[in-house]
Amino acid sequence: MRKKRTAYLLLLPLMGVTALALLACGSVLTQSLGVVPAFGLTEPTLDYYREALTDPAFFSALGVSLRTALLSALAAAALGTALCGALVRLGRDRGPMAYLIRLPILTPHAVTALFAILLLSQTGLLARWARALGLLSEPGAFPQLLFTPSYGGTILAYLWKEIPFVAYFTLALMAGVSRTLGEAAENLGASPLGAFLTVTLPLSLPAVSQAFLIIFLFAFGGYELPLLLGATLPKALPVYAHLAYMHPDLRQRPAAMALYGLILLLSAALAALYGLLTRRLLRRVGGGQ
């Protein structure tokens, strides 16, 4: 009984944060239906959702967010898994190196955007170094990576944060698998790469898949990096919703909340679909178990 009481006490902070998050989501969905008594709006309606779903700008913003989130998450999952495998192989899964890779994870997104501008802009450090080394005739010849419709700078900034996250998220599981079954496979004649691809990586896929889902949803719903590093048009969906939320006419608030509601519903749907596909994939990798 005492252990259970202690466990519940330790869970209280998480339960409190979860309750606040659920209350916020409920408030967003309620206001998105046009129910905002403080503004004299009391009748539920789906008009704001219809308005959003018939606006071409919404689908343009949705395409930007899906492309940015998918490309950054796929690249981060692949490179983060490779980084994790290298750390495990070199025996650096503990100690200073394991803590070092956490630094980008802890860096705020606004600071990450500032780093990207200082490093990747056409007047940034890379352009100046390339000019000093004679690789460019002038700094302005450096490729335009920031503030473009391709959102290349935003993707690179997400990668800087997401690759270490995937590596750190997967590190403990992959290290345990490598030290047991991976070494057993090598003792039976498998090459280090073969043992990694056939034993360590498949058994680490649950952690990799969870990390992919987290960073995909975070990039899909994040607005700081697309706002600071993206193009003026087309806008990412969270930026589009944020600007609608900042509309000076407060009676337009339900329209913004409808956009946030669509982001929430799309995130939940994508997470459910991804979970279904991942379970099927893991069953195949695990031999149907």
What own/partner pairs with CB < 8 Å and gap ≥ 24 does 137-146 have? 145/120, 145/121, 146/116, 146/117, 146/120, 146/121, 146/229
Q: How far apart are CA 255 and CA 249, in angstroms?
A: 11
Classify the C-alpha dihedral 127-133-135-141 as positive or negative: positive
Backbone φ, ψ for residue 221 (5° rounding): -100, -5
Vertex 150, ends 144 and 152: CA angle to 5°?
60
pLDDT tens, N- to C-terminus, the chain (289 residues)? 666 777 777 778 878 888 888 888 888 889 888 888 877 778 888 999 999 999 999 999 999 999 999 999 999 999 999 999 988 888 877 778 778 888 888 889 999 999 999 999 888 888 888 888 888 887 778 888 899 999 999 999 999 999 999 999 999 889 888 888 888 887 878 888 888 888 888 888 888 988 999 999 999 998 899 999 998 888 999 999 999 998 888 778 899 999 999 999 999 898 888 888 877 776 766 544 4
Q: How far apart are CA 11 and CA 167, in angstroms?
A: 27
- Residue 81, Cβ density class (10 Å: 0-12 exposed, 13-18 middle, ≥19 buried): buried
Query: In terms of pTM, does the model score above 0.85?
Result: yes
Q: How far apart are CA 73 and CA 50, in angstroms?
A: 30
Q: What is the DSSP letter of 180?
A: I
